[in-house]
Structure 1
């Protein structure tokens, strides 16, 4: 392991990007023509953009998101427009809920519109990627179960006994009883219609990292149920318009992480960071469904590369982090924001590059 870590180097140049205007975690982001867009999460309804090619790089505030503050939304650029999918926020009655709506942002007019389009299931903890002009969504929590949990908490008010009972009831189930989404949905922006595009032969996850290149997309780790991660890696192969699901060797074993970061640099598949509960997998396998009860959330510094059909630990982040934004930039993995130990939101960015299986980390 020491040898693998020595393969990584830390670049000492100027900061990758200027600090985000606010500490930024649990939001979403996308990149289009070298301009980065980030918003929601700890930024509330705010959105910002940054031209990465500008001589004087700075974040510029955009029109506020009209759907209220959201966490765990996803976003994607298609044909010059930014689409934002779902997320978790407050409804008109002030209750926390999962949304299944779609908003579109037009960069030319700096304006938002809510589309008359709803996914057939809630979108939170899901992933989104673009292939052949369509957005694809998979994974995420079950809308009915998640919304019901927060309805119960709202009714409990400040009754700690009732809250403890609700939490025990919510977390003390097997993974399959949470019905995480294992369907693959496609969204066609030209018709604003959702379609069935397939389903995983295994199980759905929440908070997975996603990256795609050409006809292949990878879903890495994530939650198998609330508080329990998986070390699984799934590959979706669209080659020949005949979707195939493959399962690759696991990573971050045995416990796995959620909220990690994934990207590609010089054809090397990268997986970094994430958060999880060490010992939760063993607890679950020993029959304890509330597997993370009493465990402290830990944040991974590991950087893994997929090489010759297996994962190699090939470097480390300067500090563990999770739940930021992963974007492709300069043939590298760009990480913006995230949270570190204790859930603290950060404002910096990290760039991970790979050349000849050597990892370079620029802070």
Structure 2
């Protein structure tokens, strides 16, 4: 947006909540507002975004930081039967137990603020395709829990 690149989150052995903006013209990085709604930090690692206009982007999805960090720690430290048992329980868990971000988030670069405009009416995706076409937003596939991809496509409309 506005010749700037925004980066929110990421991860390795932990879900990161870092947030940066790169000004292409100045060749400089700076920090921007935390992804926070109602005083709660939200991880958007694994989520996707679309540019709504010159000042705003919409973000859907994102892993729950606490669940992600706990799982990665266990997957990297447990051995043999303990690891096998953990994998069976973790990967067999219900979608709701992963607590992925279901808020529809909007970041405003002009005011450097976040807000929620509601919740998605389907399982929160990570790694989905997100397309803005005309007055509609299309969410294509994505994981609904680790290792399980959805074959569903959802469409929502922007009311102006």
Cα 1:141–1:99 shift into 2, 3 Å: same
Which structure 2 residues correspond to residues 74-113 of structure 1 after superposition, within 5 A? 78-89=1-12, 96-113=13-30
Unaligned runs of 5+ in 1: 1-77, 90-95, 241-363
Are 1:198 and 2:121 matched, yes or no? no
Q: Supply the distance in 1 between the matched residues of 2:141 and 2:33 (Cα, whole angstroms).
A: 32
Q: Supply the distance in 2 between the matched residues of 1:176 and 1:117 (Cα, whole angstroms).
A: 25
Q: What SS does the corresponding residue of 2:125 show, helix, strand or coil?
A: coil
Q: Which residue number in structure 2 is paired with residue 184 of structure 1?
A: 104
Of the three residues 113, 134, 142, the one matched with 1:222 is 142
Q: Supply the distance in 2 between the matched residues of 1:129 and 1:139 (Cα, whole angstroms).
A: 12
Of the three residues 50, 67, 85, the one matched with 1:129 is 50
Task: From the CA coordinates, give the structure whose radius of gyration is larger.
Answer: 1
Unaligned runs of 5+ in 2: none
- Shift of the alpha carbon at 1:154? 4.1
- Shift of the alpha carbon at 1:179? 2.1
- Shift of the alpha carbon at 1:160? 3.0
Q: Supply the distance in 2 between the matched residues of 1:136 and 1:98 (Cα, whole angstroms).
A: 20
Q: What is the CA RMSD across the aligned residues, in angstroms?
A: 1.7
- Shift of the alpha carbon at 1:225? 1.3
Are 1:149 and 2:66 matched, yes or no? no
Q: What SS does the corresponding residue of 1:108 show, helix, strand or coil?
A: coil
Number of residue-to-residue matches in the alignment: 155
TM-score of the pair, normalised by structure 2? 0.87
Cα 1:228–1:126 shift into 2, 3 Å: same
Q: Supply the distance in 2 between the matched residues of 1:121 and 1:167 (Cα, whole angstroms).
A: 25
- Shift of the alpha carbon at 1:121? 1.1
Q: Which residue number in structure 2 is paired with residue 55 of structure 1?
A: none
- Shift of the alpha carbon at 1:197? 1.3
Name whichever structure is richer in helix by fraction. 2
Q: Which has the higher contact order (CA 8 A, sep 6+)?
A: 2
Q: Which residue number in structure 2 is paired with residue 257 of structure 1?
A: none
1:315-336 CA distances to partner (integer Å, 9 max, x unpaired)?
xxxxxxxxxxxxxxxxxxxxxx
CA contact (8 A) 1:186 1:194 kept: yes
Q: Which residue number in structure 2 is paired with residue 232 of structure 1?
A: 152
Which structure 2 residues correspond to residues 1-363 of structure 1 after superposition, within 5 A? 78-89=1-12, 96-119=13-36, 120-132=41-53, 133-156=55-78, 159-240=79-160
Q: Which residue number in structure 2 is paired with residue 299 of structure 1?
A: none
Q: Which residue number in structure 2 is paired with residue 34 of structure 1?
A: none
